[in-house]
């Protein structure tokens, strides 16, 4: 029995460290819970910030709680291009060497020298689901999407396994809009090349060279 994976779209948002939050919202400010997100323990906050790049800005960007060790801004490629920041695809938390931006809150402004990422598409799952799907943490897999009129197969999808997770694949708004999805889209892991994603590029190269397997 294969896994039917719910697909969730991540719109632009900010994870924030406590120190940066105090600079933006004031020494006595705290995060105000609005509602829970699909991953246990994560929640949308009432507080919003402005994200500024060299060519533009986004107002009222959502902050997700709880506090994290480092401030991280997740944008789509459409977003980064619009405000003039390089598009660097990274897993969440891996922000060394990424571009920075300016954040503006009601109480102050900070200039970050890193932290802006385009989140690499990924699947959250629990160990029991990983076992059923024959995958392990940090594997990269193909996912075939259900779509009513413009379907696609995503390569390079990272699997993240933890007992704290709930089964869901996260894509950004560009990725979600690239296939025509309905209200509750789902996907399934596709075993190609024994799960070796790098082979997609080899396959593409071979096809372009006229080699058909």
**Of 2 and 131, which CB lies nearer to a second copy in the complex structure?**
2
Least CB distance to a second copy at residue 113 (A): 23
Q: Which residues bind a second copy (CB under 8 A)?
A: 1-2, 4, 76-78, 81, 87, 89, 120-121, 144-147, 149-156, 173-175, 177-178, 180, 186-191, 197, 200-201, 203-205, 207-210, 212
Task: For residues 118 and 144, give the distance between their C-alpha atoms in angstroms, rounded to a whole number.
Answer: 21
Least CB distance to a second copy at residue 195 (A): 13
**Of 18 and 146, which CB lies nearer to a second copy in the complex structure?**
146
**Of 39 and 199, which CB lies nearer to a second copy in the complex structure?**
199
**Of 18 and 174, which CB lies nearer to a second copy in the complex structure?**
174
Give the dihedral sign, CA 96/101/105/110: positive
Query: Taking CA 151 as the corner, what is the angle to CA 145 and CA 157, rounded to the nearest 5 degrees?
Result: 40
Q: How far is C-alpha 92 from the chain's CA centre?
A: 7
Least CB distance to a second copy at residue 210 (A): 4
Between strands 56-65 and 72-74, the pairing is: unpaired
Task: For residues 153 and 141, give the distance between their C-alpha atoms in angstroms, rounded to a whole number.
Answer: 10
**Of 45 and 118, which CB lies nearer to a second copy in the complex structure?**
118
**Of 78 and 92, which CB lies nearer to a second copy in the complex structure?**
78
Least CB distance to a second copy at residue 24 (A): 26
| Nearest CA among 202, 200, 93 for reference residue 152 | 200
Least CB distance to a second copy at residue 7 (A): 12
Q: Is 93 exposed, middle or buried (0-12, 13-18, 19+ CB in 10 A)?
A: exposed
Query: Which residues, including other chains, have CB under 8 Å from residue 213's CB and lie 6 or more apart?
Result: 203, 206
Task: For residues 101 and 108, give the distance between their C-alpha atoms in angstroms, rounded to a whole number.
Answer: 14
Contact between 191 and 159 (Cβ < 8 Å): no
Least CB distance to a second copy at residue 212 (A): 7
């Amino acid at each position: 029995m294969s896994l039917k994976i719910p697909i969730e779209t991540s719109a632009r948002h900010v994870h924030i460290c406590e120190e940066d939050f105090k600079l933006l919202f004031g020494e006595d400010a705290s995060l105000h819970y609005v509602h829970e997100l699909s991953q246990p323990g994560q929640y949308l906050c009432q507080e919003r910030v402005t994200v500024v790049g060299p060519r533009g800005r986004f107002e009222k960007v959502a902050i997700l709680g709880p506090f994290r060790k480092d401030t991280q801004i997740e944008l789509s490629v459409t977003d980064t291009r619009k405000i003039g920041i390089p598009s660097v695809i990274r897993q969440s938390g891996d922000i060394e060497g990424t571009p920075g931006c300016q954040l503006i809150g009601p109480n102050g402004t900070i200039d970050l020298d890193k932290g802006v990422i385009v989140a690499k598409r990924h699947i959250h799952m629990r160990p029991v689901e990983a076992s059923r799907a024959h995958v392990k943490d940090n594997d990269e897999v193909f996912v075939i999407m259900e779509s009513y009129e413009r379907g696609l197969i995503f390569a390079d999808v990272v699997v993240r396994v933890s007992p704290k997770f709930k089964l869901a694949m996260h894509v950004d708004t560009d990725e979600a809009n690239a296939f025509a999805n309905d209200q509750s889209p789902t996907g399934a892991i596709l075993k190609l090349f024994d799960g070796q994603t790098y082979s997609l590029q080899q396959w593409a190269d071979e096809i372009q060279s006229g080699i058909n397997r």
